[in-house]
Amino acid sequence: MKRIVTLETRDLNKSVKTGGCGECQTSCQSACKTSCGVANQACEKESK
Amino acid sequence: MKGFNMIHQYKLNGYNIVLDIFSGSVHLVDEVAYDIIAMFKSHSFEEITKKISKKHSVSEAEIAECLEDIKELEKSGKLFSEDTFKEIAKNYRRENIAVKALCLHVAHICNLNCSYCFASQGKYHGDRAIMSLETGKRAIDFLIENSQNHKNLDVDFFGGEPLMNWDVVKEIVAYAREQEKIHNKNIRFTLTTNGVLLDDEVIEFCNREMHNVVLSLDGRKEVHDRFRKDYNGAGSYDKILPNFKKFVEKRGNKSYYMRGTFTHHNTDFLTDILHMADMGFTELSMEPVVCPPGDPCALTEEDLPTLFDQYEKLAIEMIKRKKAGNGFTFYHYMIDLTGGPCIYKRVAGCGSGTEYMAVTPWGELFPCHQFVGNDEYSMGNIYDGVTNTALRDKFASCNAYTRPDCENCWAKLYCAGGCSANAFNATGDIKGVYKYGCELFKKRIECALMMKIALNEE
C-alpha cells in the first residue's frame, strides 16, 4: 500500500481461540508495583 | 459516531500513527491516509474526496486508491475491528480462581526512612514485624494448593526491606525448590531491595535463585537523597550505588530492574533515567509517586505537560541510543507487538485479589501489597484461605470493561482496566478511575508504539 504501512502484530481476535492459558507473569509482579500495564507482558503459552 | 471508538489516531515525533484498538494492528500512514481514515466512517466517499482534494494536492484517482486500501484493511480485520471482548472480560476471572502469585511481606521493617514511602517506612501503618519461616513455608503451600493446574508461579519478596529478614528468605526459597519438584511447578522469585544490605553473599544467592531483582534508585544523587534517607537523616545514594554496580556487573543476562520513583520535586525525571543509563544500567523503570493529593511530593495538574514532554523526549532519546548501539530498556515502553499478551490477559484486569495476593508477616491475605494495612481489605489468611469471598468477587469483577470511563478509552487493552489500588487511593473505590494515572499511561503507550514504528523503519 502506497500510503499505509502496517506493522506485524498479534491478532487479538485470533487470540480468543489460542489464548487464555494463564501461564504468563502476573502483571504487578515485575518492576512497577504501583500501576498496571499488560502490554509489556510476554506470552508464555508453549504452543501459540 | 460509528468508527469513533474503534481506532486511535495521533501524531508523534513526525509519525502519523493509527491504532486499530480491537485487533491491535498498528499502521504508519501519510497525511492523506491519516485524514481519510479520520473521515472514513463518518463521511461518504464523495465528501471525503472533496475535502481531501481541497486540503492536499492529490488526484481523485489517488484518493480512490487509498480508500480501496482502507476498505481492504477493514475487510482483513486490521482496521475498524469490532469490539467483541466484553463477555470474555466478564467471565475470565469468574471462571479462573486459581492463585498464581504471592507478594510475601517478609519484613515490615526497613533500614531506610523514606518519607514518600506508600508503605509508611515499611510498617504499612501498623507495627514492625518480620515473617517467620513457618509462615513463609505455609505461604508456599497455600500458593501451590490453590494454583490448580498452573505451572508457572511467582513469588515476590517484598517489604519493608526483605534483606532485613534474609535468612528466612533463603530458607523459604529452599523449601519452595523442594515443593516445586514434588508438585511439578516452576516458581519464579523476585526480590525488591533498597540495596543497603546487598553484599556478595546476597548477590551470589540472587543470581542463582531470583528470576528478577528490583533495585530502588531514584536517579541523581540529590534526587535520590531527598527522600531515601537513613534514620539519621543521611542520604543513601553513596552507600547503595557501589552495591548496585557490583550486583549488575555480576548479574549477566538475568533479569533486573533499576526502579525509581519521581515526584513533584523532579518532574524532569528524564535526567534521572539518563543518569542511570549513563552509569551503565540498562534495565530501567521510573514510576510516578503514589501519595495523597495535597502532599508536597504529589504530582499536580500543572505538572502534566512537563511529564508528557519528558516521556516524549525519553522515547526519542531511546531511539537515538538504540540506533547508536547503546540502547537501554524502559519498563513502560516494552511492548511486544507480535509475541505479547493474548486478549484474555489484556481484558481481565491485573489479577489483584484473585490470582495475586499479598501475605503479611503474620500470614494475613490482602488483595495486593498496596492494600496491606487497610483492615477493610483483609481477605483471609494462608491457613484458612480466602474467607472474604465477597471481596474476592468484587476484585474478580474488575476488568477493562468495568468502569464507565473506560468505555470509550482507546488504551483499555493495554492497561486491562488499570490498577485497583490507584483507583481506590484516588476515588475511595476500586471501581473508580485514577484519571491522572490514565493520562500518563496513555502517553507512555503512545510513545511505546511510536518507538516500535521508528525502530521498525531501520
Residue that the C-alpha cell 519461616 belongs to: B133
> What pLDDT digit, counting tens, does each position of B220-279 carry?
999 999 999 999 999 999 999 999 999 999 999 999 999 999 999 999 999 999 999 999
A17 touches chain B (CB under 8 A): no
Cα–Cα distance, B392 to B405 (Å, whole number): 23
Contact yes or no for B457/B341 (Cβ under 8 A): no
Question: Cβ separation of A40 and B340 shorter than 8 Å?
Answer: yes
Nearest residue to B448 via CA among B336, B348, B345? B336
Q: Measured between CB atoms, which of B192, B338, B343 is closest to A9?
A: B338
Cα–Cα distance, B402 to B417 (Å, whole number): 7
Cα–Cα distance, B146 to B97 (Å, whole number): 8
Give mean pLDDT, residues B182-206. 98
Question: Higher pLDDT residue, B143 or B348?
Answer: B143
Question: Cβ separation of B414 and A16 shorter than 8 Å?
Answer: no
Question: Cβ separation of B350 and A11 shorter than 8 Å?
Answer: no
Q: Which residues of A touch B331 (CB under 8 A)?
A: 30-32, 40
pLDDT of B1 above 50: no
CB count within 10 Å of CB B24 equals: 24
pLDDT of A47: 58
Question: Higher pLDDT residue, B236 or B118?
Answer: B236
Task: Quickly state the pLDDT bin for B3 (edges 50, 70, 90).
Answer: low
E-strand stretches of B326-383: 329-330, 356-359, 364-366, 380-381
Task: Quickly state the pLDDT bin for B156 (edges 50, 70, 90).
Answer: very high
Spell out the residues 6+ positions from residue B183 whose beta carbon is closer than 8 angstroms to its own.
B144
pLDDT of B4: 57
Residue extents of the structural domains in chain B: 7-84, 97-458
Percent of chain B with pLDDT over 70: 99
Mutate to test the interface with B, among A9, A13, A14, A44 (most CBs of B within 10 A): A9
Question: Cβ separation of A27 and B27 shorter than 8 Å?
Answer: no
Give mean pLDDT, residues B294-317. 96
Q: Which residues of A touch B65 (CB under 8 A)?
A: 2
Question: Taking the alpha carbons of B420, B423, B429, B432 in that order, is the dihedral positive or negative?
Answer: negative
Q: Which residues of A touch B81 (CB under 8 A)?
A: 13
Alpha carbon of residue B309 to chain centroid: 20
Mutate to test the interface with A, among B73, B289, B345, B356 (most CBs of A within 10 A): B345
Cα–Cα distance, B121 to B112 (Å, whole number): 7
- HSE (CB half, 13 Å, CA atoms) of B104? 35
Nearest residue to B276 via CA among B237, B239, B315, B250? B237
Mutate to test the interface with B, among A14, A24, A35, A48 (most CBs of B within 10 A): A35
CA distance A15 to chain B (A): 5
Give mean pLDDT, residues B374-392. 97
Helix %, strand %, coil % of chain B (to 5): 45, 15, 40
pLDDT of A8 above 70: yes
Output the pTM of the full model. 0.96
Contact yes or no for B139/B87 (Cβ under 8 A): no
Cα–Cα distance, B456 to B458 (Å, whole number): 5
Nearest residue to B449 via CA among B31, B81, B37, B11? B11
What is the overall mean pLDDT for chain B?
Answer: 95
Scored b (16 or more CB within 10 A) or e, B305-321 reads: eebbebbbbbbbbbbee
SS3 B67: helix
Task: Quickly state the pLDDT bin for B72 (edges 50, 70, 90).
Answer: very high
> What pLDDT digit, counting tens, does each position of B395-431 carry?
999 999 999 999 899 999 999 999 999 999 999 999 9
Give mean pLDDT, residues B30-48. 97
A26 touches chain B (CB under 8 A): yes
Mutate to test the interface with B, among A2, A3, A13 (most CBs of B within 10 A): A3
Cell of A45: 503459552
SS3 B255: strand
Q: Which residues of B touch A11 (CB under 8 A)?
A: 23-25, 77
Give mean pLDDT, residues B123-133. 93
Task: Quickly state the pLDDT bin for B435 (edges 50, 70, 90).
Answer: very high
A47 touches chain B (CB under 8 A): no
Question: Cβ separation of B350 and A2 shorter than 8 Å?
Answer: no
Question: Cβ separation of A39 and B78 shorter than 8 Å?
Answer: no
Question: Cβ separation of A25 and B342 shorter than 8 Å?
Answer: no
| ipTM of this complex prediction, to 2 decimal places | 0.93
pLDDT of B392: 96
Question: Cβ separation of B344 and A20 shorter than 8 Å?
Answer: yes
Complete DSSP assignment for B396-418:
HT-STTTSGGGTT-TTHHHHTT-
Nearest CA in chain A to B444: A37
Cell of B185: 511447578
Cell of B218: 531514584
Cell of B177: 525448590
Question: Cβ separation of B417 and A36 shorter than 8 Å?
Answer: yes
pLDDT of B457: 74
Contact yes or no for B147/B100 (Cβ under 8 A): yes
pLDDT of B257: 95
Nearest CA in chain A to B414: A39
Residue that the C-alpha cell 513457618 belongs to: B134
Question: Cβ separation of B73 and A6 shorter than 8 Å?
Answer: yes
pLDDT of B209 above 80: yes
Return the CATH number of B97-458, one of 3.20.20.70, 3.40.50.2300, 3.30.1330.20, 3.30.43.10: 3.20.20.70
pLDDT of B458: 65
**Residue B157 class from Cβ within 10 Å (0-12 exposed, 13-18 middle, 19+ buried)?**
buried
> What pLDDT digit, counting tens, does each position of B264-287 carry?
999 999 999 999 999 999 999 999
CA distance A47 to chain B (A): 12
